Amino acid sequence: MSDKGKAILKWWSAELERDTAHGRRLAATLRRAGPVAAMSEPKVHELARELGIKDAEKLVRLVSLLAEVRENVPQTLAKVLGGHDPDLSQLRFQKLMRAEGDELINGLRRAIKIAGHRCNVAALGEDLMFWSDQTRMTWCFHYFGAEAPNQFSEETH
């Protein structure tokens, strides 16, 4: 886990803890919030400073999807969704991997719900910060139950 992943997990644990009124309120706000409402939350700006995020769209995507997760587990979201008997069908997974923008956010929101609101928070946060074709390929390996290579060749970009 990278330093950014540790910071994301620490923030999620402290600010979105469902056992506290503050955590429940902030999680509910971020799940329902539009970009302006999410950016109006001081705790969101604390996370942005910690991670060095200057892109508001990326920040809103990150916090709104972290607010959907209720349980941190060792498995990545793709591993929770996939495997031998997948909770998310291959067709829906393929559609999710092709999605962009709002379609991606909505698809990930549904995927988190299908996963029982549980996944590895640090991994999800890092993936959301650096969403790319390489991230998508890693998710494909995880979904199908294989370990992703540490690095993809230049030919895959």
* Total domains in the fold of the chain: 1
pTM: 0.88
**Span 15-36, average pLDDT:** 88
Residue 74 has pLDDT above 90, yes or no: yes
Instruction: Band the pLDDT of 76: cuts 50, 70, 90.
Output: very high
Q: Given this model, what pLDDT does residue 92 score?
A: 95
Q: pLDDT tens digit string along 121-156? A: 999 999 999 999 999 999 999 999 877 666 554 444
CB contact at 8 A, 74 and 115:
no
Report the SS3 class of residue 2. coil
> What CA–CA distances, in Å, run from 136 to 18, 67, 75, 99?
30, 21, 16, 10
Residue 90 has pLDDT above 80, yes or no: yes
Three-state SS for 93-150 is: HHHHHHCCHHHHHHHHHHHHHHCCCEECHHHHHHHHHCCCHHHHHHHHHHHCCCCCCC
Q: For the domain that residue 124 is a member of, what is the CATH number? A: 1.10.520.40
User: Which residue type, as a one-letter code, is found at position 23?
Assistant: G
Q: State the Cα–Cα distance between residues 137 and 68, nearest whole angstrom.
A: 23
Q: Given this model, what pLDDT does residue 20 score?
A: 84
Domain limits for position 13: 3-156
- Please state the φ and ψ torsions of residue 72, each to the nearest 5 degrees: -90, 125
